[in-house]
Amino acid sequence: MALLKLTSPHAHTTQNTGNVMQLVLLATIPGALALTAFFGWGTLINVVIASIVAVGCEATIMHLRKRPVMFYLRDCSALVTAVLLGLALPPLAPWWLVLVGTSFAIVIAKHLYGGLGYNPFNPAMVGYVVLLISFPVQMTSWPAPMPLYPEGTDAPGLWQSLQMVLPFFNESVDAFTAATPLDTFKHNTGLLVEQLYQSDPLYSQADWAGVGWEWANLGFLAGGCFLLYRKVFTWHAPVSMLVALALCSALFYDGGSSVSHGSPVLHLLSGATMLGAFFIVTDPVTSATSNRGRMIYGALVGVLIFIIRSWGSYPDAMAFAVLLMNFAAPLIDNYTLPRTYGHKKPRKATEKATDTKD
């Protein structure tokens, strides 16, 4: 056998990009289960439709770009996008909504920018925002958590759910929709937080921050901790985002008055907070690069979320906040280089003149 000429290092971890993505997928399971437990089959149906669309789009594009299709499908990045989008969309959303959002995410937001690793914006969030702007009604009709269904109403089964989602059945979802905790706060007029918590079963029957929502968020938190433990990402971005969000909400809690924007617990455990913190803000491609940069990035996402939730016209703000910060990430990168061994202080990526040579 002729001896090969290869460059060092010759050893390599067995970890590959596909494994990393699979770990991420695995970590979404607790959150997905909680969502399903409280909001019915809709979430899983979303995820399945989105996955099929995403893999289809990815394969088609790779074929068109004349790349080996299977090789690229194996990195599972399209599946991650699909699953995250599926989880973020309202359960029981019509099939075409998922289709449009997912294909937009994969085709436009990912591949038009050059594919995996080159997209400046998080594809799932791009898909989400496009849908939110284009179809605000469908995008804001969340089903009520099952424990709060009126007496005698059964939760829709798998078949009934499918009939509400797929074409030709035209079963209406309306009977099942209700306001989310963040909606309620947004539209609260004149009630003290305490009164609101007592009057609305969404809170009164919950432990911390809204029936169902709190468990979904805790589920994603658990998944995030698993990923942290497996060192898929570092703590910097998610922790600083959560801390920033908590601090902002504590600052504007206003003692629970009628103009309060909600407690830190409410903000941390409702909406897409935990999904965002551990699965979106940590998206390495579109966030800042260095640990210091990621802390700044995460914190600013947290602040933006709070601002948009409190004073914007949308009840939740994850997607907007993330996309806005995606814009800023390269700038953050320029000023957050780590201090290299042997240097007195960190340099700037924009530095021009150099007084030092090798």
Among 99, 179, 265, 285, binds another protein (CB under 8 A): 285
With respect to another protein, which residue has the nearer C-beta, 103 or 234?
234
Taking the C-alpha atoms of residue 245 and residue 115, their distance in angstroms, rounded to an integer, is: 31
With respect to another protein, which residue has the nearer C-beta, 58 or 75?
75
With respect to another protein, which residue has the nearer C-beta, 201 or 284?
284
Taking the C-alpha atoms of residue 253 and residue 262, their distance in angstroms, rounded to an integer, is: 6
Binding span for another protein by CB under 8 A among 30-38, 111-119, 133-141, 222-230: 111-119
Placement of tokens 């594009």 in the chain: 61
Can residue 229 be called a binding residue for another protein (CB under 8 A)?
no
List Cβ<8 Å contacts ≥24 apart for 298-301.
Answer: 298/236, 298/237, 298/238, 298/239, 298/240, 298/241, 298/244, 299/240, 299/241, 299/243, 299/244, 300/244, 300/325, 300/328, 301/237, 301/241, 301/244, 301/276, 301/325
Can residue 65 be called a binding residue for another protein (CB under 8 A)?
no
Among 138, 230, 234, 235, binds another protein (CB under 8 A): 234
Sign for the CA dihedral angle at 247, 251, 254, 259 comes to negative
Residue 183's closest CA among 140, 125, 242, 245?
140
Binders in 114-133 for another protein, by CB under 8 A: 115-118
Q: Give the count of residues interacting with another protein (CB under 8 A).
A: 54
Taking the C-alpha atoms of residue 325 and residue 281, their distance in angstroms, rounded to an integer, is: 9
Q: Is 271 exposed, middle or buried (0-12, 13-18, 19+ CB in 10 A)?
A: buried
Can residue 330 be called a binding residue for another protein (CB under 8 A)?
no
With respect to another protein, which residue has the nearer C-beta, 170 or 356?
356
Binding span for another protein by CB under 8 A among 4-12, 51-59, 84-92, 204-212: 4-12
Q: What are phi and psi of 177, to 5 degrees?
A: -85, 155
Binding span for another protein by CB under 8 A among 137-145, 242-250, 263-271, 348-356: 348-356
Can residue 81 be called a binding residue for another protein (CB under 8 A)?
no
Binders in 265-284 for another protein, by CB under 8 A: 284
With respect to another protein, which residue has the nearer C-beta, 49 or 80?
80
CB 109 within 8 A of CB 121: yes
Q: From the centroid of its chain, how far is CA 321?
A: 11
Least distance CB 289 / another protein (angstroms): 6
User: Which token pair is 64?
Assistant: 């068109």
Binding span for another protein by CB under 8 A among 92-100, 128-136, 257-265, 285-293: 285-293
Least distance CB 340 / another protein (angstroms): 4
Helices (H), 174-212: 181-186, 193-199, 201-204
Binding site for another protein (CB under 8 A): 1-13, 15-17, 19-20, 71, 75, 77, 115-118, 231-234, 284-285, 289-291, 333, 337-344, 347-354, 356-358
